[in-house]
Chain A
Amino acid sequence: MRENTVALRPPRALWVPFDLGRPFGAPHEPAFQTDVLRSVLALLERTDGPVILDDYPHDAPGQGSPEAMEGMACPVRLPRPSGDAPAGRMAEVQAEIAALRPWHDLFRENRGGSGAGLSGLAMPDAAAFLAELRGSGQVSSVPNEKWGDMLRFTAQDLHDYYVEAAAMRPGGAANPVELENWFWGETSAGRLLLDLKVRLVDHENEGVRQVATTQLVPRAQRHRLGGSS
């Protein structure tokens, strides 16, 4: 944030008003990305230090515009998650994974690969790991000391698989806020991760407890946990 940069007083910095996680503005906007890059590199030729903090003057393409907030976030209309009861949740998640697969395959073809896959598991198996940990509190096929890492990676894989599939929406991906609200608010996978946070936050395994506490559910989505966040 600009406030932190002002406090740190680096020799040269370009503040940009883009969403966190998008320092060059937006995907597939090469001209815009190049303009941001030229603007920050231009600071190297300035000599009016010792502290130069410039503000980039433009919002990213589509950022916060009404058009970006309209319509479905996803190309597939998934069934609404069933209530708060976890029974049947796994079947719902596996059905969602299958429904999204053609769009995720398309994403992989277009991008030349997928960022999902940190766990090394196929998506149905990643979801099965999460379900097993949620159900019995342990996973016999994975060493105890790896449970925390595997929880983080399978949860991230699941989230990223959905978001990558959703990015293939005709007309282009929805903006980050809409994508996150869709995943956490409208999918059974999002509901599964919310369930997991509540169930695992007091888990006996320190790694699992740590991940459940801070790395499963974004702060901006924890209101969905009700009073149990």
Chain B
Amino acid sequence: MVRLSDLTEVDAAHLLAKECIAFDTEPFVACPPLADSRIAIVTTAGLHRRGEESFDFRDTGYRVIPGDVAAGDLVMSHSSVNFDRSGFQQDTNAVFPIDRMRAMAEAGAIGSIAAYHYSLMGAGWEPHEIEPTANEITGLLKEDRVNAALLVPV
């Protein structure tokens, strides 16, 4: 997310033209206290482990990121060239805050971290095309007893 005024005119126009679905429901639920939460990160930054299959142009799949992954083992193959990658290149936590989350868990500020996190490539497809993938990830999160997901776009 970014200020509209910080973008070039062409970038701002492109992003404002994105389809924003009007949902029929408002799925708001109360969550457990953070100290009892088991949290997973779901990112659309196109991250995966080094050596794993890269995301292609219209990839609607996902990659699994083990909870004990070393931050430096992640690479980014997102197909868009229209956002900054240099922050991630220098420090994974600028995009995928796994070390910061581990510190919070060790301090007891959150209950636990999921055994697996999930990464998608957030470009090239329409919102409805990603729904089956989202449903599949939701099932996997439930099996992992995750009760809170941190969705991180780039």
Contacts and interface: CB of A to CB of B under 8 A. Distances in A.
Interface of A: 1-5, 7-9, 11-12, 15-28, 30, 33-34, 36-38, 40-42, 44-45, 47, 49-51, 64, 111-113, 115, 117-118, 148-149, 152-153, 156, 159-160, 163-164, 167, 173, 176, 179-180, 210-211, 215-220, 222
Interface string B26-53: 1111110110010100000000001000
B29 A11 contact: yes
A22 B95 contact: yes
Contacts of B85: 21, 115, 160, 163
A153 B54 contact: yes
A50 to B, nearest CB: 4
20 contacts: A1-B2, A12-B28, A17-B3, A19-B83, A21-B85, A22-B154, A23-B1, A26-B87, A28-B91, A37-B97, A37-B104, A38-B104, A40-B150, A44-B148, A51-B26, A51-B28, A112-B72, A115-B89, A219-B82, A220-B11
Given A23-B152, A51-B26, A64-B6, A45 B34 contact: yes
Contacts of B94: 22-27, 33
A118 B54 contact: yes
Contacts of A4: 15-16, 18, 20
A8 B2 contact: no
Given A20-B154, A51-B28, 12 more contacts: A3-B16, A17-B3, A20-B7, A23-B153, A24-B93, A41-B39, A47-B30, A51-B26, A115-B89, A118-B75, A163-B89, A222-B10
Interface of B: 1-4, 6-8, 10-12, 14-16, 18, 20-23, 26-31, 33-34, 37, 39, 50, 54, 56-57, 70, 72-73, 75-77, 79-91, 93-95, 97, 99-101, 103-104, 109-110, 148, 150, 152-154
Nearest to B96: A24
A210 B11 CA distance: 19
A27 B94 CA distance: 5
Contacts of A118: 54, 75, 77
A3 B7 CA distance: 13
Q: Majority SS of interface residues in chain B?
A: loop
Contacts of A25: 94
Contacts of B29: 11
Given A113-B72, A219-B8, A50 B91 contact: no
A36 B152 CA distance: 12
A98 to B, nearest CB: 20
Nearest to B56: A149
A22 B153 CA distance: 9
B54 A21 contact: no
Nearest to A25: B94
A41 B101 CA distance: 10
B21 to A, nearest CB: 7
Given A23-B154, A217-B81, A219-B82, A3 B4 contact: yes
A119 B70 CA distance: 22
A115 B95 CA distance: 13
Nearest to A47: B30
Contact of A215 (B8, B57, B88): B57
Contacts of A1: 1-4, 12, 15-16
B104 A220 contact: no
Nearest to B43: A23
A153 B77 CA distance: 8
Nearest to B23: A9
